[in-house]
A and B are shown apart, each in its own frame.
Chain A
Amino acid sequence: MRGVKILERLLYTIPIMFGVAVLVFLFMRMTPGDPVDIMMGEAGTVAPGEMEQLRKEFHLDEPLHVQLYLFLADAVRGDLGYSYAYKKPVTELIAEQLPATIELALGALLFGLIIAVPIGIWSAVKQYSVVDRLSMAGAFLGVSMPAFWLGILLILIFSVKLRWLPVTGRIDYNAGLQVVTGFYVLDSILTGNTTALVSSLKHLVLPSVALGAGTTAMVARVLRSSMVEALRQDYVTLARAKGVRETWVVLKHALRNALIPTVTVVGIQVGVLLGGNMIVEQVFSWPGLGRLAVRAIFSRDFPLVQGVVMVYALTFVLANLLVDILYTYINPKITL
């Protein structure tokens, strides 16, 4: 039953992706600036007729609806076009950069959960204690601090002053990592390269913290308030009346129920971490999708922007589906 429902939900993503494709196509065409102009501006002198030829090559001389048709027809076949700026197929570019983005998002999520979950639980159990007040003040700071500013601050302290961690990039060039999957941490483990593992982990720390700070704060606050709520419920009193140890009252009876609203927030945050990392990737020169998207937008690289946005949309939709599936396991009252 669950399998059928999941399949059904996966089928829903098709019209969603279609809508996203049309919208991003139209929005890109609406932004001022001509890709060929920008390209030629960089090239310097232009031979007569060359611009027209380029426009023809990229089908930019065709009417809008024909362009849209060509784009969609290719997209259905899994071809997202050819990047003007990189002179490479968009799918290839995305495949190269996506692992970096996912790795960073997972790093940030892991950092966020490791910090937020204990803090959320602890603050709820010790409501209004010093620990609670301090962590909630910290959470407020975490939500309010812009990621780029935190990123620069972290680089200043941990890279420039203390020299503990590298400033930018994903790995030291001399680590000698043989790329298998594109996930450097995973690749280091697969190839048994300890130097690369240490190096890639070191590179991952600061961007993960900068990207994950907001998530940490958000999750901690939501978990705290839902734990406070859960700890007040009758079923918690029942658990105590049964003779359940206080640790289990909190970690089993209350937490299981408090997770329901928390998972929703974590799900949204997964989307934010995957799609909202343009600035952090820029600050740390992290060679991911975000940086790719920024460059593509500045150079009006229509196919690349379309491709990246569609990948973002897809990860959002899939993250949401994943949350909904997870939900049915946590909350028995809900089915897909």
Chain B
Amino acid sequence: MTTERKPLLEIRSLTTVFPTRRGLVRAVSGLDLTLARGELLGLVGESGCGKSVSMLSILRLVSHPGRIVAGEVLLEGQDLLALPMHAMRRVRGRQISMIFQDPMTTLNPAFRVGDQIAESLRIHGMLNGSGSSIWPFNRGRAEAERKRVVELLDEVGIAVPWEARKRYPHEFSGGMQQRALIAIAVSCHPKILLADEPTTALDVTIQAQIMDLLRRLNQEHGTSVILVTHNLALAATFCQNIAVMYAGRLVEKGSTDAVIEDPKHPYTRGLLECIPKIGATRQPLQPIPGNVPDLAELPPGCAFHPRCKQAQDACQEGEIPLVTLEDGRQVRCLLYV
């Protein structure tokens, strides 16, 4: 039973940096995050707060010159950051999959959609125990592969899947492209799906369909999902738990209800005040004053203090610890220390 209790994914003090001309930028700074089996976790924050880089860091896909300098990413207790590359490749797409922000540029324009799905199946040897390889060798396997590709396209809600598999990405609409990408992501039944702004580039109506699809995959296959979004309202409707990031750090994490009803961190509160409410009496939205800080020149102490209404002198110095409250909520703010 102890293994069941252990979180599926545990990120410990993950730090990813990018050297720039103006100094070292800490895109992710000491991130701690856990994800349980079947959990839907929302990772929320403004653009540039390190959400995407955290997700890329989990799969060790941070592109040069960025690099992970500290921390652990434990998948069922095994540190992914310590794995040799060939073992890491078996995690990618098989244990942990990722869905990207811009479906139009993420599918490879030169290959048929069906072939791009089949590639994943082949790499991870998902077809009747055949070893992993890039090219199909026998007719039986090619047949099984076609069948599975059609099944997957059907599962993600693409109409006429046996025709669609022969299409090229540019012949798909944005929503269909994202569905195809989801088909690639779930093709090998991963335990975790990292969805990085999966609906940002899509129409609102398509957005709802894609979120429904993700929820269904979560319910039917028990896939855990981390939904990265700048849209707190979207995360609130979709996720059980919400984690809020600011300037590369986790500032608050708790159950969605708790975070929405009673936000603890002033930044979370600020974010909530920015969401317009349909039906509520007309009142002006309250934007958070100031701008997202430059990651190369972070203010000392709490990175949010220059924009915080409740800032005290003590906020300007030292490391602010992440405190766990009685209800299990985590907050990084001196108000709760």
* Chain B residues closer than 8 Å to A331, beta-carbon distance: 109-110
In the bound complex, residues from chain B placing their C-beta under 8 Å from that of A129 are none
- Chain B 40-62: CB-based contact to A (< 8 A → 1; otherwise 0): 00000000000000001001010
Chain B contacts for A257, CB-based, 8 A: 108-110
Contact B98 A241 (CB under 8 A): yes
Evaluate contact between A242 and B109: CB separation under 8 angstroms. no
Q: Whose C-beta in chain A lies nearest to the C-beta of B103?
A: A234
B94 sits at the interface (CB 8 A): yes
Say which residue of A235, A237, A241 sits within 8 Å of B93 (CB atoms): A241
Whether the Cβ atoms of A237 and B170 lie closer than 8 Å is no
> Would A233 and B105 count as touching, CB distance under 8 A?
yes
Minimum CB–CB distance from B183 to chain A (whole Å) comes to: 12
Report whether over half of chain A's contact residues are helix, strand or loop; otherwise say mixed.
Answer: helix
Q: Is A291 an interface residue (CB 8 A)?
A: no
Chain A, range 216-253, C-beta contacts under 8 Å to B: 233-235, 237-246, 248, 252-253
Nearest-CB residue, chain B, relative to A239:
B108
With A and B bound together, what is the CA distance between A245 and B97 in angstroms? 16
A87 interface residue (CB < 8 Å to B): no
Q: 8 Å CB contacts to A: which residues of B78-125?
A: 85, 89-94, 97-98, 100, 102, 105-112, 119-120, 123-124
A246 vs B124: C-alpha distance in the bound complex, in angstroms? 15
User: Which residues from chain B contact A161 at a C-beta distance below 8 Å?
Assistant: none
CB distance A235 to B119 under 8 Å?
A: no
* A65 CB within 8 Å of chain B: no
Docked-complex contact B111 and A256, CB < 8 angstroms: yes
Judge whether A330 is part of the interface by a CB distance below 8 angstroms: yes
**In the bound complex, what is the Cα–Cα distance between A252 and B119 (angstroms)?**
11
Q: Nearest CB to that of A236 among chain B residues?
A: B108
Flag if B90 contacts A241 (CB, 8 Å). Answer: no
Flag whether B162 is at the interface (Cβ < 8 A). no
Q: A241-B93, A242-B93, A243-B92 are in contact. Are A235 and B106 (CB under 8 A)?
A: yes
- A77 / chain B contacts, CB cutoff of 8 Å: none
Q: Which residues of B contact A332 (CB under 8 A)?
A: 109-110, 112, 168, 170
Q: Which residues of B contact A330 (CB under 8 A)?
A: 110
Which of A238, A245, A248, A253 interacts with B100 by CB under 8 Å?
A238
Quick one: closest B residue to A241, CB to CB?
B98
- The count of chain A contact residues (Cβ–Cβ below 8 Å) is 22
Residue A2 interfacial (CB < 8 Å) = no
Tally of chain B residues near chain A (CB < 8 A): 32
B233 to chain A, nearest CB (A): 26
| Distance between Cα atoms of A245 and B88 in the complex (Å) | 10
C-alpha gap A240/B93 in the complex (Å): 9
* Nearest CB of chain A from residue B127's CB, rounded to whole Å: 15
* Alpha-carbon distance A121/B50, docked complex (angstroms): 32
Closest to B167 in A: A332
The reply to whether B106 and A238 contact each other, CB–CB distance below 8 Å, is yes
How far in angstroms is the closest Cβ of chain B from A248?
A: 6
B181 at the interface (CB under 8 A from A): yes
Q: How far is the CA of A200 from the CA of B151 in the complex (A)?
A: 57
Residue contact B181 to A242, C-beta cutoff 8 Å: no
Interface residues of B in 4-35 (CB under 8 A from A): none
Instruction: Give which listed residue, B56, B63, B85, B120, contacts A242 with CB less than 8 A.
Output: B120
Set of chain A residues within 8 Å of B63, measured between Cβ atoms? 237
Which of A235, A243, A252 makes the CB contact (< 8 A) with B89?
A243
Q: Does B314 contact A (CB under 8 A)?
A: no
Bound-state Cα–Cα, A256 to B110, Å? 7
The 8 Å CB contact of B120, one of A233, A234, A243, A252, is: A243
A240 touches B105 (CB 8 A): no
Interface residues of B in 211-244 (CB under 8 A from A): none
Closest to B98 in A: A241
Known: A233-B105, A234-B105. A243 touches B94 (CB 8 A): yes
- Structural contact, A245 and B106, CB atoms closer than 8 A: no
**Chain B, residue nearest A254 (CB):** B108
Asked whether any CB of chain A lies closer than 8 Å to the CB of B134, the reply is yes
Judged by a CB distance under 8 angstroms, whether B331 is at the interface is no
Complexed CA–CA distance, A237 and B60 (Å): 11
Closest B residue to A248 by CB, please name it: B134
B133 to chain A, nearest CB (A): 10
B168 touches A333 (CB 8 A): yes
Give the docked Cα–Cα distance between A256 and B109 (Å). 9
Tell me whether A243 and B123 are in contact (CB under 8 A).
yes
- State A243–B93 Cα separation when bound (angstroms): 6
Most chain B Cβ neighbours within 10 Å, of A234, A240, A243, A244: A243
Query: How far apart sit A252 and B168, CA to CA, in the bound complex (Å)?
Result: 16
Known: A238-B108, A243-B94. 15 other contacts (CB 8 A): A237-B56, A237-B106, A238-B100, A238-B184, A241-B93, A241-B97, A242-B120, A243-B93, A243-B120, A248-B134, A256-B108, A257-B110, A332-B110, A332-B170, A333-B168
Can you list 5 A-B contacts (CB < 8 A)? A235-B105, A235-B108, A237-B56, A237-B61, A245-B134
> Nearest 4 pairs between A and B by C-beta?
A243-B92, A235-B108, A243-B93, A242-B93
